[in-house]
Amino acid sequence: MIILKTNLGDIHIEVDAKKAPITAKNFVDYVKNGFYDGTIFHRVIKNFMIQGGGFTEDMSEKSTKKEIENEAKNGLRNAKYTIAMARTMMPHSASSQFFINTTNNSSLDYPAQDGWGYCVFGEVVEGHAVVDKINLVKTGHHGMHADVPDEAVIVEKAIVKAATKKKAPVKKAVVKKTVKKTAVKKTTVKKTAKKAPVKKTTKKAPVKKATAKKAVIKKTATKKTTTKKAAPKKPTKKKAVVKKPAK
């Protein structure tokens, strides 16, 4: 990215190094060397183009490096707001001077009238309003030069700005909550009539009735005592002996 800081505003230029490698490099090198600082847009033709890159404010021409090859066959068109190299009648005579198209100038495209045309090597990506403002300035003669702005349009500083890499938008990972439905097997409960547990009747051992044996009281026979007739004695009765029952 090249930024031309002028007294009327900034012009941002994107060069096309792929389609015009020689021309783009040449332009960037001039910027890096500070060549364009203090130069002016010395030629303005309304609704055609604005030209700069070779003269100072007092209309002194700056010395340049050697001319470069004309790359006008690169397929780029002289459309509005594109930037191209200025040259003389000789096809490979471009050095430092450039112009910005302020309208569509298809007549300058390759092969043009001279079989070569004018090489486009970039475009204005920001600062179109500044270009439009310069396009409308009043112009006149300055010595041998025509179409010179009455009030100088100065390139105060030309800088190379490193292209900032655009951060790729971060996609938020949408976590889909997939609730896995576990197949619930329906357990068919077979209604089985539960048989009431049969209580096992434990046969009770027959209780023998203890028959209490009644104690048999044996009557002991009482012997009759025969009393002899003698002197009478008082009869002594023997007490009956009660035997205990046998267990």
CA 158, CA 48: separation in Å to the nearest integer?
23
**In the chain, where are the structural domains located?**
2-57+76-87+95-160
Query: Cβ-count burial of 152 within 10 angstroms (0-12 exposed, 13-18 middle, 19+ buried)?
Result: middle
CA atoms within 13 A on the CB side of 62: 20
2.40.100.10, 3.30.2180.10, 1.10.1200.10, 1.10.3720.10: CATH of 2-57+76-87+95-160: 2.40.100.10
Digitized pLDDT (tens) for each residue of the chain, 247 residues in all: 999 999 999 999 999 999 999 999 999 999 999 999 999 999 999 999 999 999 999 999 999 999 999 999 999 999 999 999 999 999 999 999 999 999 999 999 999 999 999 999 999 999 999 999 999 999 999 999 999 999 999 999 999 998 666 666 666 665 555 545 544 455 444 554 455 444 444 444 444 444 444 444 344 444 444 444 444 444 444 444 444 444 4
Contacts of 184 (CB under 8 A, 6+ apart): none
Q: How far apart are the first and last CA of the chain?
A: 139
Tell whether pTM > 0.75: no
Cβ atoms of 96 and 124 within 8 Å: the answer is: no
Cβ atoms of 42 and 64 within 8 Å: the answer is: no
Q: What are the φ/ψ torsions at residue 6 (nearest 5 degrees)?
A: -105, 170
